[in-house]
Amino acid sequence: MVAPITDSRVPRDPAIRAITDALSAPFDLAEVKFKPQMVKNNRALAIAYIDVRLIQDRLDLVLGAENWQDDYEILPDGSVTCRLRLNLGGQWVTKMDVGSPSEQPDGGDRLKAAFSDALKRAAVKFGIGRYLYRLSAQWVEYDPVKKQITQLPKLPAFAVPRQTVASSLQPEAKPGASSGSKILATNSQPSPRPVTEVPAPAAPPATSAPVAPPNLPASGAELHRRLQEYDAKLAAQKLCQRGALLAHVTQAGIKAGHSANIAEWTGPAISFAVDIVKEFDQSVRSAKAGPRTAA
């Protein structure tokens, strides 16, 4: 009698899943390029590709520069092997692939192309840009004189990152912010304008104006920097793995319709990040404390 097949899959760590989802998120449309695979008169069969620097930026953004490594080996035929290692949840995972040289006349350029191609292919195994391989090649307008595509192909929904939500969806300020939201507010740079500090009354009347929200990051770049700092702080306290907070905020932002690049976030998205950090902070601290029993 044949034994029944059971599902032996181990549930994935939510923090690691957030990291891998952030790695595999679609790139902004302006960052995706197209090249002709085949040309017929003024029409070309366009295929999508991304620059290797976008992959490096994505690794830095999601994991941090210290949490990924790459090394290469030049093969006798001019191809290059790339071994890409990522620190996922405290465990180094290595994946590798081979890149081919280009057809450029200069030998150095051919070798550089092989290095770039090898990194791209290894990164695809971690999900970065993998969705581009699911795109169908499309015939588009082509300028045979300038030798360039003049009409961009239309991309399916799965390859288009959702745009930033309207400002009307900006979340309201919530009282009693946790340390997660405080870290984003208290690290801000002082305002260049002179500010007169007035002591707040001990018990403001009910008719007084609401207290202004804390000074949030002025830009997405500043938000990203503070998230990295707080991520490192939580990791140092052994509350989560390094990169888990940044990946969680990125993935939550993508689901809410924000860009996959935190450095591009503005007002509504920055306020949204504060709430997500607060929830993440409370979650990891509760998990660390564990269940309590009555004395």
Instruction: Tell me, yes or no, if the pTM score tops 0.75.
Output: no
Q: Are 16 and 67 in contact (CB under 8 A)?
A: no
Report the pLDDT value the prediction gives residue 3, as an integer from 0 to 100: 53
Q: Where are the domains of the chain?
A: 30-159, 162-166+179-186+217-288
Q: Which residue in this structure is represented by tokens 């081979």?
A: 98
Q: Which two tokens stand for residue 18?
A: 């957030």
Report the pLDDT value the prediction gives residue 27, as an integer from 0 to 100: 92
Which bin fits 203, alpha (ψ -120 to 50), beta or left (φ > 0)? Answer: beta
The CB-side HSE value for 79 (13 A sphere, CA atoms) comes to 9
The DSSP bridge partners found for residue 74 are 80
Q: What is the fold, at CATH topology level, of the domain defined by 30-159?
A: Enolase-like; domain 1 (3.30.390)
Q: Are 140 and 43 in contact (CB under 8 A)?
A: yes
Residues of the chain falling short of pLDDT 70: 1-12, 162-214, 290-295
Report the pLDDT value the prediction gives residue 9, as an integer from 0 to 100: 57
Report the pLDDT value the prediction gives residue 180, as an integer from 0 to 100: 54
Report the pLDDT value the prediction gives residue 69, as an integer from 0 to 100: 96
Q: Are 91 and 118 in contact (CB under 8 A)?
A: no
Give the residue among 47, 70, 49, 79 at the shortest CA–CA distance from 126. Answer: 70
| Calpha distance 133→48 (Å, rounded) | 8
* H/E run at residue 56: helix 52-63
